[in-house]
């Protein structure tokens, strides 16, 4: 690695997740693919995350810190600005990768037409146990129409070219703490089209479900408002682009 630019930048935003961040980082260092750097953005944590990371001096890891919590979109955008690798792999600090994840995902980019690749995933609970029989995410018709993705892939399953991420302007920070990832995928689909995405069906990501997640603490009213704003915004853009579905496809 010394003297060579890493092929992949692993982007990890975190906020008061130190108990999950430790196994998360262990799953990165356990990768069979070794050409990576890590950028952790501590988004104003109050649980000693920054102090713990600074004391560990982990290899190939850059720590950035926000003085106060600004949300995952701002955190990921900070990491994007600091990344030197040509591929960005997003990993939420409460999720895990299986050891072959980066190996499998980077192979997709041997095709120069691929902009982003996505992996399948399993769900785990707070203690890391597999959750059997968990339901599938709700189908998103707008995302399926413009990106060919029937359900929204979690950020921890996505690797994307850094240039494409910058062309898209990163994540829209106006979305705050929810839906910024779906907004990003919709814009990517509109710009590059479904043929630019590669799906890896193997379940190489472990997506943790726990009581402290923001999406589980939100009341339905603000979540519905965010969805309506998102759908309205992209309906207008779809019409302006002259592509994608008609208005009926964007209704709940």
Closest CA to 178 of 139, 227, 212, 144: 227
Q: Assess if residue 218 is contained within a domain.
A: no
Count the domains in the chain: 1
- Tell whether 2 is covered by a domain: no
In a domain, 164, yes or no: yes
CA 104-213-95 angle, 5° bins: 20
Q: Is the pLDDT of residue 207 over 80?
A: yes
pTM: 0.84
Q: CATH number of the domain at 187, please.
A: 3.90.550.10
Domain residue limits at 107? 8-212
Lowest pLDDT segment from 38-47, 130-139, 202-211: 130-139
Confidence label for 242 from pLDDT (cuts 50, 70 and 90): low
Mean pLDDT, all residues of the chain? 85
Residue 241 lies in a domain: no
**Does residue 75 lie within any of the structural domains?**
yes
The pLDDT assigned to 64 comes to 96
| Element housing 159 (H / E) | strand 158-161
């Amino acid at each position: 690695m010394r003297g060579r630019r890493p092929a992949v930048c692993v982007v990890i935003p975190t906020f008061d997740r130190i108990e999950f961040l430790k196994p998360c980082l262990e799953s990165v260092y356990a990768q069979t693919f070794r050409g990576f750097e890590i950028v952790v953005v501590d988004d104003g944590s109050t649980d000693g995350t920054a102090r713990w990371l600074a004391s560990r001096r982990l290899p190939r890891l850059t720590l950035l810190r926000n003085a106060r919590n600004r949300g995952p979109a701002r955190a990921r955008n900070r990491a994007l600005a600091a990344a030197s690798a040509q591929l960005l792999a997003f990993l939420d600090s409460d999720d895990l990768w299986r050891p072959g994840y980066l190996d499998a995902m980077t192979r997709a980019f041997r095709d120069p037409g691929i902009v982003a690749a996505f992996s399948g995933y399993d769900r785990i609970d707070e203690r890391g146990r597999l959750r059997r029989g968990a339901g599938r995410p709700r189908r998103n018709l707008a995302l399926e129409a413009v990106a060919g993705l029937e359900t929204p892939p979690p950020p921890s399953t996505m690797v994307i070219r850094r240039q494409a991420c910058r062309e898209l302007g990163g994540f829209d920070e106006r979305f705050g703490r929810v839906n910024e990832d779906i907004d990003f995928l919709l814009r990517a689909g509109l710009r590059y089209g479904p043929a630019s995405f590669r799906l890896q069906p193997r379940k190489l990501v472990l997506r943790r479900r726990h009581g402290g997640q923001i999406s589980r603490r939100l009341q339905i009213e603000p979540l519905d408002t965010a969805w309506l704003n998102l759908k309205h915004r992209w309906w207008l853009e779809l019409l302006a682009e002259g592509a994608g579905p008609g208005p009926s496809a964007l209704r709940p």
